[in-house]
Structure formats: C-alpha cells, structure tokens
Structure 1
C-alpha cells in the first residue's frame, strides 16, 4: 500500500499507517499499563490453569507491563509528532511486548491473541511507511 502524496503539517509525506500505528501503540500501551496495575494489585491474575506462575513473580510482571506501557504511550505520541527515532523504538517495544504476550498464551489465550494481533499491526504500520513519512 503506497503512502499518500499529501504533505503533512511538518513537511514530510503523510502516512496513514504511521498515524494508525501511533494511535494503536498508545492504545496497546494503555492496555499494558492496566495489565501492570492488575499484576501488582490482584496476585492471582497471571496464573496458568495448572496454578503456576508463568515467569518471575507478580511484582516483576507488574512493573514490566507498567513500564512497557508507559514507554509505548510515549513512543506512540512521538510517532504522531513525526519523530523518526520513535519508529525504531516502537518496533523494539512492540517486539518485546509481543514476546511477553506469547508467554501469557496459556493463562489468557484470547486476550493474548488479540494483543499479539494489535502488536503485529503496530510493527507493520511503523515499517511499511516510506522513509521520511510522518503520521501527524
């Protein structure tokens, strides 16, 4: 899918994929912040059907998702602001969150699958846009 030839307010070619990836990155970040708070507050949330914790302890997962979510929100806002570095940071953060969601497939298969699909779309939106494009 080619980017539009329209110019954005910052001078670069406008990319709907970047705008979409930025907004979806913010949404996923909000979900991850909520997931982090839940892990810190509700200790039995991240249990598998066998009753075992997936990896680490509750506080570690809670802080991981909380920090990852806040970073994703910041990077999503930076993507919308036209910051080039945010595209690379967004791909890295989405990749890390993707790995984390694969770890939760046993505990929350539907939610993890939805989150994985959203993260794949974020990555695609960030890499599909042409060089120099902005999504403001």
Structure 2
C-alpha cells in the first residue's frame, strides 16, 4: 500500500503567495477605480461630500478631488503591474496604499464612512503585499536519510 503524496510545503507557500498578490492586485485596482470616481466627484464639487468647518487639514474640495484622482490612477497602474507579479509593483503597491490611507484619513470629514472603509481596504492591501513573498527561491526538499537508489 502506498501513501498518497502530499503537496510540498514550498509549493503550498508559493500558491498562498500568488493568491495574496492576486488579492492585493484586485483590491488595489478596485480601490484605484473608486478613488478615480471619488476624485471626479470632488473636482466637479458634487453634493455627495459633506462640508465641514474648522477642520485642521482643510483643502478646497477640488484639491481633494485632484489628490484622489491622481492616487486612483497610480493605484490602477500599480494594480495592473501586480497582476504581472512585478517586484516594482509590490513596492509601489505598499507605497500607494499608504498614501491612500493618508489621503482617506485627511478627508474623513468630507466622506467619513467611505474613508474608514477605504483605510481598511488599503490596510489589507499592505498586509497582503508584505506577508507574501513570491520571489523567494524555492528550497530543494530535504533528501530522506539513508535513501539510496536500488539496483534491480
């Protein structure tokens, strides 16, 4: 009776890393597209946003719109790079997601619920890009002790 072979731990780790990178790519692309729409709404001075007085980080609504539009475009570009498993895209993805967190924190008074959701999404993107390392070389499986090829 033979035992069924199990997946090699490195193969499982590579599958996990690829899956997390794909998750980050999808989420960063979605966050980028939503930020593009949010930027367009801010530039158009849509009535969706709440005007808050006496906020420390006060910018014109169009200014916030341009910031979100630019970050959204960059996020989509980096998300596409993540689909290709590019190392530059992993680094840029962490940086862009960090900037998205800052921009959403600073725009909390203008759109509070979505800002908190976007901060959480960006946090998951950073986590997925930092925890998975698909570019690490796979190690050779350890040879079993005392195993020598048998002659027939």
Structure 1-normalised TM-score?
A: 0.80
Matched residue, 1:105: 108
Contact 1:18 1:125 in 2 (8 A): yes
The answer to which structure, 1 or 2, has the higher relative contact order (CA under 8 A, 6+ apart) is 1
Contact 2:32 2:74 in 1 (8 A): yes
Q: Gapped runs of 5+ residues in structure 2?
A: 1-8, 137-152
Q: Gapped runs of 5+ residues in structure 1?
A: 8-12
* Pairs within 5 Å for 1:33-72: 33-42=36-45, 45=49, 47-48=51-52, 50=53, 54-72=57-75
The question of 1:132 aligning with 2:135 is answered yes
Structure 1 SS opposite 2:11: coil
CA RMSD across the alignment = 2.4
Cα distance in 2 between the residues matched to 1:80 and 1:70:
16
Structure 2-normalised TM-score?
A: 0.72
Q: Deviations over 1:60-93 (max 9, x none)?
A: 2221111110110010010011111101101111
Contact 2:105 2:115 in 1 (8 A): yes
Cα distance in 1 between the residues matched to 2:123 and 2:30:
14
Select the residue among 67, 72, 81 that pairs with 2:84. Answer: 81
Cα distance in 2 between the residues matched to 1:20 and 1:6:
16
Contact 1:43 1:58 in 2 (8 A): no
Greater than 3 Å deviation, 4+ residue runs: 50-54
Count of aligned residue pairs for this structure pair: 125
Higher radius of gyration, 1 or 2: 2
Q: Deviations over 1:79-117 (max 9, x none)?
A: 011111101101111101101111122332211111111
